[in-house]
Structure 1
Amino acid sequence: MEKKDGSIDRKYIPILVLLFMGAFIDGLDTTIVNVALPTMAMDFDVSMSNSTWIILGYVLGLAALLIPAGKACKNGRVKKFFIAGTLTLLIGSVVCGFSKEYAFMVVFRTVQGIGAAMMSAAMPSIIVRLLPPDKKGIGMAAMGGASGVALILGPTLGGFVVGVASWNWIFFINIPFGIVLVLLAMHCLPKDGVPDPSKDPTPLGAVSVFLTVGLLLVILQNYGDKDQGVELMIACSAGALVSLIVLIYSIKHDRERAIISTKMVLNRDYILLGSAFFLSTMMLTGTQYVMPYWLQISYGMSTMESGMFLTISSVAMLTIVFWVGKLVDRRGGRSSSIAAQLCRLVLCIVMIVITPPDGLLILAAAMVFLGFSQAFSGTGHTTRMIHHATPGYEDESTNFLLVINYAAAAMGAVVYSMIIAITLPETTLLEIADYTVRMTNDAVNFTAVAGIAFLVLALVLSILVPNRVPDKSGKASEASDAPDNASE
């Protein structure tokens, strides 16, 4: 794939472009909304805590359906799912743009997430099947680089659009990119095979995991909110428990058709890496949730200014992400995953130490470290999980990696929202316009302390797993992080 002069073999370029654009559209749908959350919360007349459902609706559809969609993709439907998922996401985007009611917005954000799940489920299979075994890091780097571009354009475009028009228009920006992506997929993806119905996931497992994840998010999101009754919490808890029992039954009873294979999950190193990735991503997405509020309320930035500020981390990420991808292919991802936690710790410490309106330059420098962490984690940690996957379950393990990512994204926003509701209960009773600088600063401090706890545990788990480097056949063997032990 990579020639002696360092260039990429031309026949793989369309696949890398496809991966880049798919990850870009997915990333843009999240990042472009984050910076507009305060404005949308005011327009829909919801609190900071309740505004998380604009994020959670999208992530719920993704996290809950990614694994069953991944199994269906592997069963001869990669091209169909990629194209159908992209179209579903675009339809959801259009409807969200015309939404006037908050509940309607949340429902069609979930539709967007379902489409993104179908599209995202196909991408790991594309990497595993269409790229050489020793070059998967480049494929992951293409997706990571796309996320970086989305992180740059998302806040910038979102802030600009909200500033000159209204938040409704942010949902229409993806439309031209999606159309191009569908045409590219029709051209460069190979024809699907013939599906074997006996290998498809059972509907029971898909429905039960959707309900379990959804009800758990409702419980956590409303914990500490005085406006929510005990009856709702009891009903959701009972429903989540029943759904979980049904899910466990499905996994044990359906075996090969279960949405999660016990052989895939019962892997010590994979569990440790997955847990570390989950904790670290929770800190990242939780911080991305509170940051626009902090910048706009405590630092007095406009939506456009805060969007521009948030791009600092994305620019930093893009400066090193492809270099990190090549490094991981040569030396394994252990050092990169450890570096990711250390870089994120820098941001958490800075968030606690500085007091707005002072310290903006220091915060900007810390955002550079956050960008580096995204390159290290998005490439190094994810590639590590592929290297440590149970043999024969690479596709499922890679899809499960994405589930961990999106579930952590949802949990990060929910847990940070819950921390704010518990430590500052008055925030659940106020409109966004009534939030004070002190109140917002306290919320940031409490969540940053939680972020440090998550990262320290993630760091320990990352260190416990040995480093692995794949050879050209795709077989990964243990090695140190030193260059002289790297596979060539």
Structure 2
Amino acid sequence: MSQQAVAAPEKLDAAVLKVAGVVVLGAIMSILDVTVVSVALPTFQNDFDASYARVAWTMTGYTLALATVIPLAGWAADRFGTKRLYMVALALFTIGSGLCATADSIGQLILYRVLQGLGGGMLMPIGMTIMTRAAGPKRMGRLMAVLGIPMLLGPIGGPILGGWLIDVASWHWIFLINLPIGVVALVYAQMALPKDAPEPSESFDFLGMLMLSPGLALFLYGVSTLPDAGTFADAEVWGPMLVGAALLVGFVIYSFRPRHPLLDLRLFANRNLTIATVTLFVFIIAFMGAGLLFPSYFLQVRGESTLTAGLLMAPQGIGAMLTMPLAGTLADRVPVGRTVPFALALIVLGFFSFTQVGPDTSYVLLCGSLFVMGLGMGGTMMPIMTSALRTLKAHDVARGSTLVNILQQIGGSVGAAVMSVILTNELNGSREIPGATDPVTGKPVTEAGLAIASQQKPELLQQFPVPSQLIERGLDFAAQSFASTFWVAFALVVLTFIPAAFLSRRREQPRPLDGPQGEETRTPVVIH
């Protein structure tokens, strides 16, 4: 065989780059949509007159939908074909985006976000399957570098784009912007993707899906209603929690019976995967949950515009962009047990500043802290996920990847729900203003509530003059509420050191995954 023939597969030819372009467009839509919405939560609170715990369901519902369709994607790709399914996912995401822009209640917006998430959850795994088949295993490294661009830029560009659109137009445009991109992506996919060749696939665990997804949704819904109900004794709190918990317990018991369960919990017999997954799960609950609160602090306590809040979040994305490629390289050479604790230490160091926030904390300190946290985040998530899958047998890698990705989305959902509930509960403890009631809800107005409203709508103080001392006291209480919530997340990040201490400190040899002619066919791991 000539040297030219051997070298050819290493190059990305025009046909492969056309396919990669389709997947990158889908990735941009899906990844940006998660980060864009993070700066819009306080805006949703104002426009829909809802609590923070309620509007956080625009994120919780989206990530739960992602978790639902991740295991469905592989089965459906074989059953219906990758091109057809990818275009359905694009259409579903685009239609969901358009519907989100038409929502006139928080309930409608949450419902449409779930629809959007059902499409978005399939874009990444199906896109990776399409790229793997088009390029072959030898060129996946180069293609992953192409796909890594939106993955790295999303955390930086998302909050800035979302803030700018809300400032110059309205929150509706953070969803409307997906419509032209979605239409272009659909036309592009029709032209560039190869024809489908559906084939018989293994059975899908629909019963498991019908227990896991509703169980999580009901349990988290019960938790999120706690601040409004005020007590666990309220039926709206304990009722959904009890039913949800029963479904989750039933799912765990049932999952050991099918040959192809929704989540293969038998994989937890692998010590390496178990430790890595527990570490990642605890970390994501803390970091992703608190991550939603960072822009809210800038908006509600500091009175910044949404664009400024997005710009203030950029240092975190820049930090992650710097360390993620390095961490990926080190993961193949240095045991994760020797690198992840140092990355976690950076996160703890940066996080501590937010446990001390007040109404006038230095932006230099906070932005520097976000940058340090970003450095740590880039060195944490990808190495842990790589460690989780490295020692699995060939036929277990796909199931292991599904398990880790679903638990990642569940962790994000739990984190968003729990942190928003804690913050809402803290803010509800503010002192009430005698004789003042909200004209819409009829509920008493608190000092913290008025202070936050005045920061976002200064004209309120011209219409209803109140003593400046009251506003200052309300802002102090609001900042303290954020700090208390950050303390909970900080404690969880510190807790992550316990499972991280058991991560492998010796170099694990990956299992050989033999494909055609001995080529490595390891399933690529993608953080959504």
Shorter chain as normaliser: what TM range? 0.7 to 0.9
| Equivalent residue, structure 1, for 2:324 | 321
Shift of 1:66: 1.9
Counterpart for residue 454 of structure 1: 492
Q: Tell me which of 8, 11, 14 is aligned to 1:9.
A: 11
1:62-77 equivalences in 2 (<5 Å): 62-73=66-77, 77=81
Q: Any conservation in 2 of the 1:36–1:167 contact (CA below 8 Å)? A: yes
What secondary structure sits across from 1:196 in the alignment?
coil
2:208–2:255 Cα contact (<8 Å) kept: yes
Indicate yes or no: 2:398 matched with 1:360: no
> % of aligned pairs identical?
21
Distance (Å, rounded) in 2 between the aligned partners of 1:144 and 1:342: 25
> Which residue in 2 is equivalent to 1:149?
153
- The residue that corresponds to 1:342 in the other structure is 345
**Does the 8 A contact of 1:276 with 1:457 survive in 2?**
no
Question: Which residue of the partner structure matches residue 31 of structure 1?
Answer: 35
Question: How many Å separate the matches in 2 of 1:429 and 1:333?
Answer: 52
In structure 1, the residue matched to 2:475 is: 437
Structure-2 separation of matches of 1:18 and 1:381: 29
Secondary structure at the aligned position of 1:255 is classed as: coil
Q: Deviations over 1:82-124 (max 9, x none)?
A: 2221211111000101111211111000001111122233245
Tell me the secondary structure at the aligned position of residue 395 of structure 2. coil
Name 2:382's counterpart in structure 1. Answer: 379
Structure-1 residue corresponding to 2:163: 159
Q: How does 1:206-355 map to 2 (within 5 A)?
A: 206-226=209-229, 230-248=234-252, 250-256=254-260, 258-331=261-334, 333-355=336-358
Paired with 1:15 and 1:453, the residues of 2 have a C-alpha distance of: 44
> 5+ unaligned residues in a row in structure 1: which ranges?
476-488
Radius of gyration: which is bigger? 2
2:400 aligned residue: 397
How far has the Cα of 1:260 moved from its partner? Answer: 1.7
Deviation at 1:442, TM superposition (A): 1.7
| Pairwise CA distance, 1:383 | 2.3
Q: Distance between the aligned counterparts of 1:302 and 1:193, measured in 2?
A: 50
Q: Does residue 87 of structure 1 match 2:91?
A: yes
**Alpha-carbon distance, 1:330 to partner:** 4.5
CA separation of 1:286 and 1:470: change in aligned 2, threshold 3 A:
same
**RMSD of aligned C-alpha atoms?**
3.2
C-alpha deviation, 1:430, in angstroms: 5.8
Show the 5 A alignment for 1:88-167. Answer: 88-123=92-127, 125=129, 145-167=149-171
Q: For 1:172-196, what per-residue CA distance to the aligned partner results, in whole angstroms no more than 9, with x for missing partners?
A: 1223333444455455655544332
**Residues 270, 473 of structure 1: alpha-carbon distance in 2 compared, 3 angstrom cutoff:** closer
Cα distance in structure 1, aligned partners of 2:244 and 2:328: 39
Residue number in structure 2 paired with 1:55: 59
How far 1:405 moved relative to its partner? 2.0
2:78–2:198 Cα contact (<8 Å) kept: no
**What amino acid is aligned across from residue 68 of structure 2 in structure 1?**
A
Change (3 A) 1:454 1:315: same
Give a deviation string over 1:395-429, Cα, whole Å, max 9, x none: 22212222122111111111112322444433797
Return 273-282 or 458-467, whichever deviates more: 458-467
CA drift at 1:359 = 1.9
Change in 2 beyond 3 A, CA 1:245/1:127: farther
Worse-matched range after superposition: 388-397 or 32-41: 388-397
Cα displacement (A) at 1:43: 0.3
Structure 1, 444-453 or 73-82: larger mean CA deviation? 73-82
**TM-score, L = length of structure 1:** 0.85
Q: 1-side partners of 2:496 and 2:444: how far apart?
A: 34
Encode CA deviations 1:135-175: one digit per residue, 9 max, x unaligned. Answer: 86766665554233122221111111111111111101223
Cα distance, 1:20 vs. partner? 4.1
Distance 1:474 1:339 in 2: 31
Q: Is the contact between residue 140 and residue 325 of structure 1 (CA under 8 Å) also seen in structure 2?
A: no
**Stretch of structure 1 that moved more, 333-342 or 62-71:** 333-342
- Which 10-residue stretch deviates more, 302-311 or 78-87? 78-87
The one-letter code of the counterpart of 2:416 is A
**Could you tell me how far apart the structure 2 residues matched to 1:154 and 1:280 are?**
22
Identify if the C-alpha distance between structure 1 residues 379 and 245 changes in structure 2 by more than 3 Å, giving closer, same or farther: closer
TM-score, scaled to structure 2: 0.79
CA distance in 2, matches of 1:133, 1:384: 20
3-state SS, counterpart of residue 10 of structure 1 = coil
CA distance in 2, matches of 1:265, 1:74: 26
CA apart distance, 1:33: 1.0
Superposed, which structure 2 residues align to 1:412-423 within 5 Å? Answer: 412-423=415-426
Residues of 1 paired with 2:60 and 2:444: CA distance? 21
Structure 1 residues 226 and 386 mapped into 2: Cα distance closer, same or farther (>3 Å)? same
Q: Structure 1 residues 417, 139: CA separation in 2 closer, same or farther (over 3 Å shift)?
A: farther
Higher relative contact order (CA 8 A, sep 6+): 1
Give me the whole-angstrom Cα distance separating, in 1, the residues matched to 2:92 and 2:329: 34
Query: Aligned AA for 2:70?
Result: L
